[in-house]
Amino acid sequence: MNETLRAMTTTTEQLTRAVIEHVRGLYATEDFIPLHRPVFGGEEKAMLAECIDTSFVSSVGKRVDEFEARMAEFTGARHAVAVVNGTCALQVALRVAGVEPGDEVITQALTFVATANSIAHAGASPVFVDVDRETLGMSPDALEAFLESEAERRDDGCFNRGTGKRIAACMPMHTFGHPCRIEEIARICADWGIELVEDAAESLGSYRGERHTGTFGHLGVFSFNGNKIITTGGGGMIVTDDEALARHAKHLTTTAKVPHAYEFVHDEIAYNFRMPNLNAALGCAQMEQLPGFLAAKREIAEGYRRLCEELGIVFISEQAGTRASYWLNAIVLDSRDARDAFLKATNDAGVMTRPIWRLMSELELYTDCQSEGLTISKWLEERVVCLPSSVA
């Protein structure tokens, strides 16, 4: 073993021991520690029992309306539409934003597959641009460079000169709850006539300035999967300030049924993406605990930050002018080898860690899609590791 590799191994071993000790102290257990687990410490059981007692367990019930109202109030959006999961919410948001089959949507390659899949479900093609190293989210510099190099403005929209397709929308993602430079992205999209749809699935409780993520574009989307800050078991939410877009989203997600006391008339090809009342009841109970969850998240993140500072490891921290939810805490290691050694050692020890996602541009599903300048995305893919981040 050469001296360079020996030094790297020693450093990784030291880091592994320190992280395992820290995590086990944080959660006070010698049992397996997952990356993120839900916490039910409020009125969840009572609200679920109420749904069962009233028989309103499916897509009709007061808890759906209540959950939508709570989310609108919390995020500062005027309207919210609850759906069955985040991927479906993104798909519908794209459709009501005007994305049509054959269009293109600019997004980031460093993201969870739902972002790219929702574009494909909408009949469009993703175009991948690079991210910022500090936020892990779409780089407005990369977005603007791509548009200046590859796109042109026409009377009927923005078009990709190489493919001839309309660039209908842009979908950045607020990675792990860290707001990307969304104001700059919004400015660029407005300048080029491109609809902005925010993938805020991971960023409930995150702000840029005083404004909540998901509210900078015409539409934003949140997820309530079992591993999110709050959960409805499965579920998603579309938020918007535009009443017409909200009404259309609600219509599409409820089979496009024309309101009538008993007739079944549907006026669009739509979806049955309605959130059941049971799931919404869970969400209402979780919303009551959200401020406490977010406070606990910040405390956990601060502990990791101090540990990383002592160890000389890069910790992904919120940027100036932002407030991150710290849904998942993440560190940046020196190399892919260091990352892989750390992942194996921690998981073997019963402490779950994971790498950041494989780049969408490297998945067989999307290798034919246009990708531009993913240098930072590739660098991060090789080095970023997520740490256990449950609130209890």
For the chain, the domain total comes to 2
Question: If you write DSSP's letter for every residue of 26-61 in order, what string do you get?
Answer: HHT-SS-B-S------SSHHHHHHHHHHHT--SS-S
Q: CA angle at residue 227 from 131 to 107, to 5 degrees?
A: 25
Question: How far is the C-alpha of 76 from the C-alpha of 97, rounded, in Å?
Answer: 20
Give the confidence band of 2 by pLDDT, cuts at 50, 70, 90. very low
Do 29 and 116 lie in a common domain? no
What pTM was estimated for this model as a whole?
Answer: 0.94
Do 237 and 303 lie in a common domain? no
Q: Count how many Cα atoms sit within 13 Å of the Cα of residue 362 in the half-sphere of its side chain.
A: 11
Give the confidence band of 6 by pLDDT, cuts at 50, 70, 90. very low
Give the confidence band of 5 by pLDDT, cuts at 50, 70, 90. very low
| Length of the chain in terms of residues written | 392
Domain that holds residue 263: 44-286
- Which pLDDT score, from 0 to 100, does residue 249 have? 98
Do 274 and 293 lie in a common domain? no
Do 211 and 231 lie in a common domain? yes
- Which pLDDT score, from 0 to 100, does residue 1 have? 37
Res. 360: pLDDT tops 70: yes
- Which pLDDT score, from 0 to 100, does residue 60 have? 77
Amino acid identity of residue 61, one-letter, is: G
Residue 366, domain member (yes or no) = no
Do 303 and 237 lie in a common domain? no
Minimum mean pLDDT among 44-58, 93-107, 211-225, 377-391: which range? 44-58
Do 112 and 13 lie in a common domain? no
Question: How far is the C-alpha of 191 from the C-alpha of 6, rounded, in Å?
Answer: 52
